[in-house]
Each structure stands twice: as C-alpha cells, then as structure tokens.
Amino acid sequence: MSIDDLYEIKNDIISCLSPEDQNKIEAQFNESNYFINNIVKPKQKAIKDLLLSLPVYDTEKRRQMMEAKTPQEKAQYIKDLIEEFTGAKGSKTYFMKERK
C-alpha cells in the first residue's frame, strides 16, 4: 500500500461526512502538516547540523546513537551531547540559551 492509497482512503472516508465535519478534519490535517513541515523538520535539521559540528560528536557517540533501539534512546543521546557541549539543561537544551 502506498501513501497515495492512504490519501485516497482518507479522502473516501472524509467524503462520507457532513461538510462541517469535513472542514474540521481538513483543518486538523493542515495544522498537523504545518506543524511537521514548519516546526519539527527545521528543528531536526538544526539539531543534526549542530551535532555534526560538535567536536564531542565523535565516531563512538555517533555509533551509539545510530544503534539506539528506540527514538527515545536516540533523543537521549542527542540531548546528552548537546548538554555536554553547551552546559544547557532541560528545555534550554533545545534552544541553546546557555553556553559554557
């Protein structure tokens, strides 16, 4: 099954709903796409670019991160690396407000 098939199924289901419900679902879908494309993806790219530029981001740490079993484990490695390099803690890790 391709992504196009899934969109077709989604559209078939939505077409059976009332116009009000159709508008609500489309608005939620558009909001989700906006969030992913304008917030999540740019942050992921910025973090990746930062990590690749860090002197502490050596081969061993990169290997550990790539071998992590879950997204949470990968996220923890990234968070640890950022904290090690910047001294930032908690939510500040993501915004790089504090530096060593």
Burial of 9-46, coded b for 16+ CB within 10 Å and e otherwise, reads: eeeeeeeeeeeeeeeeeeeeeeeeeeeeeeeeeeeeee
Where do the H-state alpha helices sit in 16-91? 19-35, 41-53, 59-67, 71-86
Which of these ranges, 35-44, 58-67, 74-83, has the smallest mean pLDDT? Answer: 58-67
pTM of the model: 0.37
pLDDT tens-place string over residues 5-23: 888 888 888 889 899 988 8
The per-residue pLDDT for 90 is 60
Q: Is the pLDDT of residue 69 over 80?
A: no
- The residue ranking higher by pLDDT, 28 or 77, is 28
The per-residue pLDDT for 20 is 92
Q: What is the mean pLDDT of the chain?
A: 74
- The residue ranking higher by pLDDT, 43 or 55, is 43
